[in-house]
Chain A
Amino acid sequence: MKDCYLGVDIGSISTKGVIIDDENNIIASSYIWTEGNPVNSVKKLLEILKEKLDKNYQIKGIGTTGSARKLIGLMLKANIVKNEITAHAIGTLTFYPNIRTILEIGGQDSKIILIKNGIITNYAMNTLCAAGTGSFLSSQAKRLGINVEEFGDYALKSKNPVKIAARCTVFAESDLVHKAQVGYPKEDIIAGLCKSIVLNYLNNVGKGKKITPPIIFQGGVSKNKGVVKYFKEILKEDIIVDENSHLMGAIGIAVLAKKNKNGNTYSLEMKNLKFQTKAFECNHCSNNCELLKIYRNNELVDSWGSKCGKY
């Protein structure tokens, strides 16, 4: 039996799973939509990974990252739960040890990570709003009646991208509608949108940060060729996009799971696991904490949200 390690990155839009071996080779991976239900999507993900995984491997570590990392960490009894910034940096450094700048645009958030000699020196993440992230792109794709996967190809066709307000998605959307109504071709609007994503990113997250090559671009949006093109154009630098750029967080957390292995062997059999959450409001004091109780096979494993520690 050979050892392998599972990394799961549960984002707001998509759920990613990667299994690596002792040499950090990817032996199975999958990318599916979260659809607002992290528990179910992880169950689905594990079924897919189980099919793909060679029977000679046994899982010796599980790590979770992404916005649902804590919940899924409990569900899978993960040996490590880590934030996505650390996971992304580690994943990237595993394959690109000389990288200096990581640009990342995901479903709900975007981040920039600056690295020097393999050490993170600074990073930034969008603060309040989700302007210019994947969820905005997919809602606009729906509005324009095309698949978000085709977005990049459309954008590359355009020779004359329209100008779209880059600061706020509310303004961007009304700009977009106006441009469409006065008759601009679809590809020019889409190209304009891709360009505005880049400008928005550089003006918000990338503001005041020194972007030094080599630069790598990852997260779901890195699959959009239009956005990549405008990053290259505006930064006047080459941009690396790894074929696994959308999986980098999952790879990173799998590497961390390997580093933190504790001898346990894990199973991918979760189909019949009863994993439930119950939400209620505590009326003990005027804080009215929103509490979440988490049950694994009807057994209470954790509860979150209490300010006073009563639960």
Chain B
Amino acid sequence: MYKLGIPRSLFYYYYGHFWQDFFNALKIDYLISPITNKKIMENGMKIAGSEMCLSLKNYLGHIDYLKDKCEYILVPRISNFKNDNQTCTNFWAAKDIVNNLFENKILNYNVDIQKHQTLKKGLFKIGKVLKKTPLEIKKAYHYAVIKEKKRLKKNHQINQNKLKLPKTKILIVSHPYNLYDELIGKDIIKYLKKRKIELIYSDKFDPKITNKLSKKISKDLYFKYSKDNLGAIIYCQNKIDGIIFISSFPCAPDSLANELAMRKIKIPYLNLVIDDSTSFTGLETRLESFLDMLGGKLND
């Protein structure tokens, strides 16, 4: 029995490394659910409501995997950040949904800047639940924050370096929990990488920069991750050959962001919506023709 279970889905793709640093420093033994496989996804579908998005269904599958293996399961409520940056409603609701569907003890903290609930306060709260002293928590927090800052800087730098390469470059606009998930977006990445395309990921840019840039597309954007994603498009649209926007069905924030991008962007653009359909054939047709178009293969 592990003390803590971390589902490898949704929040994990934003906070996964940070959490690992934090809990390692606190010497908590935790278990991260495995890379999504069919069984996890299928269990998630069974548990979830039919109106939930594919990513949330997947998240519940990961919780289901952890439920008998850990004392606590980590489910934060991430609601909003500085400068009126709201997150998707699933991020608000995850804790209550898990609480209603599972009997496990939940380790929860809130990030709700409008109510002065910061990440720091949140981590102190869960540190206390895990019976750690304030000093230990403080040390662990600072350790994790410094490493996170370094990681952010490094990722941003990698993206910038990629933008200078003399290769066919595609910006992948997506939420990381869709893009890097084995059963949602990974096949698309694998397909493109096999064909020697340089991939630039929208989530690897420094959100401080991309968030502001999104104002050039629209000043009325509501969701933080839509802002970050659209800002990334503005950031590099003159340095790339095309954009692929990947979202899960039925993502409401993405449906708006996609509409905006499609209307305002002048370079080749492809939108892919992923549902639980198991066949890659439809996606392959779209990707192959998109690459044909970028490669100008029609002219030889």
Residues of A that sit less than 8 Å from B by CB = 67, 70, 82-86, 89-90, 93, 118-125, 127-128, 207-208, 259, 285-290
Q: Is the CB–CB distance between A86 and B249 below 8 Å?
A: no
> Which residue of chain A has its CB nearest to the CB of B271?
A127
Q: Is the CB–CB distance between B39 and A85 below 8 Å?
A: no
A-B pairs, top 8 by smallest CB distance, nearest first, are A85-B289, A286-B37, A286-B39, A83-B288, A120-B293, A83-B289, A208-B263, A208-B262
The distance from the CB of B275 to the nearest CB of chain A, in whole angstroms, is 6
Q: Is the CB–CB distance between B268 and A285 below 8 Å?
A: no
Q: Is the CB–CB distance between B289 and A123 below 8 Å?
A: yes
The distance from the CB of B9 to the nearest CB of chain A, in whole angstroms, is 16
Interface centre among B40, B268, B293 (most CB of A within 10 A): B293
> Which residue of chain B has its CB nearest to the CB of A81?
B288
B38 close to A (CB within 8 Å)? yes
Q: Is the CB–CB distance between B285 and A84 below 8 Å?
A: yes
Within 8 Å CB of B153, what residues of A? none
17 sample A-B contacts, Cβ–Cβ < 8 Å, listed by A number? A82-B288, A84-B285, A85-B285, A85-B289, A86-B288, A86-B298, A118-B299, A121-B293, A123-B290, A124-B271, A127-B271, A128-B249, A207-B259, A207-B262, A285-B37, A286-B38, A289-B38
> Which residue of chain A has its CB nearest to the CB of B42?
A288
Within 8 Å CB of B272, what residues of A? 127
Within 8 Å CB of A90, what residues of B? 298
> Which residue of chain A has its CB nearest to the CB of B36?
A287
Q: Which of B180-215 contact A (CB under 8 A)?
A: none
Within 8 Å CB of B299, what residues of A? 118-119
The prevalent SS among residues of B at the interface is helix
- A119-B293 Cα distance, complex, nearest whole Å: 8
Within 8 Å CB of B292, what residues of A? 82-83, 85-86, 120
B82 close to A (CB within 8 Å)? no
Bitwise interface map of B from 261 to 300 toward A, beta carbon under 8 Å scored 1, else 0: 0110000110111010010010011101110110011111
> Which residue of chain A has its CB nearest to the CB of B284?
A83
The distance from the CB of B152 to the nearest CB of chain A, in whole angstroms, is 31
Within 8 Å CB of A67, what residues of B? 281, 285
Within 8 Å CB of B278, what residues of A? 290
> Which residue of chain A has its CB nearest to the CB of B34?
A286
Residues of B that sit less than 8 Å from A by CB = 37-40, 249, 259, 262-263, 268-269, 271-273, 275, 278, 281, 284-286, 288-290, 292-293, 296-300
> Which residue of chain A has its CB nearest to the CB of B294?
A120
The distance from the CB of A268 to the nearest CB of chain B, in whole angstroms, is 26
The distance from the CB of B76 to the nearest CB of chain A, in whole angstroms, is 27
- A259-B297 Cα distance, complex, nearest whole Å: 12
Q: A122-B268, A207-B262, A286-B40 are in contact. List 14 more A-B contacts (CB 8 A).
A: A82-B288, A83-B289, A84-B285, A85-B293, A86-B288, A86-B297, A118-B298, A120-B292, A121-B268, A122-B293, A123-B289, A125-B286, A127-B273, A207-B259
With contacts A122-B269, A127-B271 known, is A89 near B298, CB below 8 A? yes
Within 8 Å CB of B298, what residues of A? 86, 89-90, 93, 118-120
> Which one of A93, A119, A122, A128 contacts B296 once the chains associate, using CB atoms below 8 Å?
A119
- A259-B40 Cα distance, complex, nearest whole Å: 47
Within 8 Å CB of A70, what residues of B? 281
Within 8 Å CB of B39, what residues of A? 286-288
Within 8 Å CB of B271, what residues of A? 124, 127
Within 8 Å CB of B297, what residues of A? 86
Interface centre among B39, B278, B288 (most CB of A within 10 A): B288
- A119-B295 Cα distance, complex, nearest whole Å: 10
Interface centre among A70, A86, A93 (most CB of B within 10 A): A86
Within 8 Å CB of A289, what residues of B? 38
- A285-B39 Cα distance, complex, nearest whole Å: 10
- A84-B286 Cα distance, complex, nearest whole Å: 9
- A86-B298 Cα distance, complex, nearest whole Å: 7
Within 8 Å CB of B38, what residues of A? 286-289
Interface centre among A85, A119, A288 (most CB of B within 10 A): A85
The distance from the CB of A254 to the nearest CB of chain B, in whole angstroms, is 15
Q: Is the CB–CB distance between B289 and A128 below 8 Å?
A: no
